[in-house]
Structure 1
């Protein structure tokens, strides 16, 4: 399906809403029925029509159709956060006593789910580095029901061979889930590689304006219906119509925003790699990246998230650098119009900081919509300020 058609036309029946170019926000909690049989049918199959906006809503459905098509999936659900998407997709595919294999150090709330919540139900998770399919094969047990992936992750950009792992899992009847937030469906297509469920934080690039929070689960119609009829409806974690409308708006400019971010990232990366205060950089499509060949094989782009290692012995210098930035904001998340930075040491108690550990000197930089010259000038003055220049 053509990308331009998906973004501009798919799911939009403009003649049904006064030929308005932008779809309406159906800000309603419920829907009216004139016949008891119709109401009975809606009770029997809430995914077959509109009953209550905790389930389906016309504005949300326009977004669902577009996001499923972008992923090359049969269907999708949109939830009120990426964490909700992780929770629903995992819970729908396990039961008490099952075993999960997960990539090591996944997103914070995925790890919290695996390490804190699921053990209450006697669900055990084995973490693997994920550098080879053999690591997953060795971790499998007779009770393994799920393999959870995150490729790339959002700090050191660890990558897994999605097709090889999907093939392994399918041969064993194991469900695969991947967090595809880093690439979006424009730059990586997990469903086409055999992954069962592709999830993403739509808060990031899909929204693109730092004004809404959402998560997406894409997969087969059968798997999406299973999630809808259990976790999605029970927890009530579906996205609200206004937020869905904001995401539709964000989709309109997604390709050109990603193109701009990707071009600027290349220039900023080149600047950082030659700077004397930068020990090294991590970026999946940098030829010096350890898994560059695999990244190039399964990713068509890498957007604007990179990490660099500050060359210093002192935590204070990293702090001075971050606080000296004038136009790059210190904040979590990524994917919006504004450039952002997070120092890893912000999550490490000062007395535990060890400069010999590269991870302690990591800074994650997100490149937004600003020009490369504007960002490089800000980085340069912050480096000078931090070193006393």
Structure 2
């Protein structure tokens, strides 16, 4: 199935809604049945029936089918956020007394789920250096039920050898869950490499317009049915039909957006790597990335995330650089049409040391390259660097 067909036509049964080119927004919370027998059949399989939008909805179903096809999965469930998708995938795989192995620097709310929330219910977790596949095996216990991956991660872009970790997990009867938000299905296919579940913050590139918060979880239908019967229906972190419709619209331009982002990022990255006021540039495609070989083997292309370590004397200098940016919007998140800057120092109170003994240095600034002309972005970065 070709990419353009998935993005533009798959799941859109236009004959059933008067040949409309744009898909319908079915903004209904409930669906009626002609008989008690039909309603009873609906209750028997809410996963596949339109009964209550908290479980299933025609507009949402179109989105699910497209996202599953993009990931090469049997099915997909969509959620009100990426954090909800990750949480549902984890919760469906573990029970009291079980153990999870996770990469050392996951998304902050994934870490919070594993480190702070699930231990209250008897689920333990270990965090390992995911760049070393042997670290996963060393962390396994008889109660390990799940390995959580994020490749690349969204700040310093460490990757895991997904095929190697998947093979290890299968030997031990352990499930794997990978956050694929950074790469998108266009640039990485974890399921094809043996991963069981793939999660996305669909807020990012999949939507691409910074107007929807959403999450997706892709995998085998049988496993997603277990997610559906458990955390999906129980916790109710669903995606609204309107947000699903916006995501369907955003997907139309996914391929061309990612092509533009990748081309612009290559140009900005090459410029950043030559700047003396930048100590280091993080990117899966950076020339000094120790995992460059894995990037070339596992990723089909680049996204727009680049993190720079400013050669700053203090936090005030970092703030001057960030405050001086004119074309980069300073905010959280990434993956929209606009270019963004996220300074690590904004998370910490004034007076925090520039380079703490543990954790990330406050001189890091993550850039998300959008659809603007790369020459304009470079000029903006150049004038902001003079403020250091």
After superposition, the C-alpha distances for 1:13-66 in whole angstroms (9 at most, x for unaligned) are 001111010001000000011111110011111112110000010000111110
- CA drift of 1:271 comes to 1.4
Number of the residue aligned with 2:159? 159
- CA drift of 1:360 comes to 2.3
Q: How does 1:91-102 map to 2 (within 5 A)?
A: 91-102=91-102
Distance in structure 2 (CA, Å) of the matches to 1:296 and 1:174: 27
CA contact (8 A) 1:305 1:365 kept: yes
- CA drift of 1:324 comes to 0.8
Number of the residue aligned with 1:329? 329
Number of the residue aligned with 1:278? 278
CA contact (8 A) 1:313 1:355 kept: no
TM-score by length of 2: 0.98
Distance in structure 2 (CA, Å) of the matches to 1:115 and 1:48: 34
CA RMSD of aligned residues (A): 1.1
Number of the residue aligned with 1:170? 170
CA contact (8 A) 1:99 1:124 kept: yes
Distance in structure 2 (CA, Å) of the matches to 1:289 and 1:255: 26
| Counterpart selection for 2:374 from 368, 372, 375 | 372
SS, match of residue 156 in structure 2: coil
Q: How does 1:231-380 map to 2 (within 5 A)?
A: 231-355=231-355, 359-380=361-382
After superposition, the C-alpha distances for 1:208-241 in whole angstroms (9 at most, x for unaligned) are 0000010000000101111011111111111110
Number of the residue aligned with 1:39? 39
Distance in structure 1 (CA, Å) of the matches to 2:136 and 2:5: 39
Distance in structure 2 (CA, Å) of the matches to 1:122 and 1:89: 17
Distance in structure 2 (CA, Å) of the matches to 1:89 and 1:238: 14
Number of the residue aligned with 2:132? 132
Distance in structure 2 (CA, Å) of the matches to 1:376 and 1:138: 44
Alignment gaps of 5+ in structure 2: none
SS, match of residue 320 in structure 1: helix
SS, match of residue 92 in structure 1: helix
- CA drift of 1:289 comes to 0.8
Distance in structure 2 (CA, Å) of the matches to 1:122 and 1:8: 45
TM-score by length of 1: 0.97
Distance in structure 1 (CA, Å) of the matches to 2:320 and 2:384: 8
Distance in structure 2 (CA, Å) of the matches to 1:346 and 1:48: 45
Alignment gaps of 5+ in structure 1: none
SS, match of residue 218 in structure 1: strand
Number of the residue aligned with 2:49? 49
After superposition, the C-alpha distances for 1:232-275 in whole angstroms (9 at most, x for unaligned) are 11111111100000000011000000000000001111111112
Distance in structure 1 (CA, Å) of the matches to 2:362 and 2:324: 19
Quick check: 286-295 or 23-32, which moved more? 286-295
After superposition, the C-alpha distances for 1:64-123 in whole angstroms (9 at most, x for unaligned) are 110000000000001010010011000001001101100012101101101111111111
CA contact (8 A) 1:118 1:124 kept: yes
SS, match of residue 342 in structure 1: strand
> Are the structure 2 counterparts of residues 356 and 174 from structure 1 closer, same or farther at C-alpha, using a change threshold of 3 Å?
closer
Distance in structure 2 (CA, Å) of the matches to 1:137 and 1:258: 35
Distance in structure 2 (CA, Å) of the matches to 1:279 and 1:230: 47
- CA drift of 1:153 comes to 0.4
CA contact (8 A) 2:354 2:361 kept: no
Distance in structure 1 (CA, Å) of the matches to 2:191 and 2:249: 24
SS, match of residue 93 in structure 2: coil
Number of the residue aligned with 1:185? 185
Count of matched residue positions in the alignment of Structure 1 and Structure 2: 386
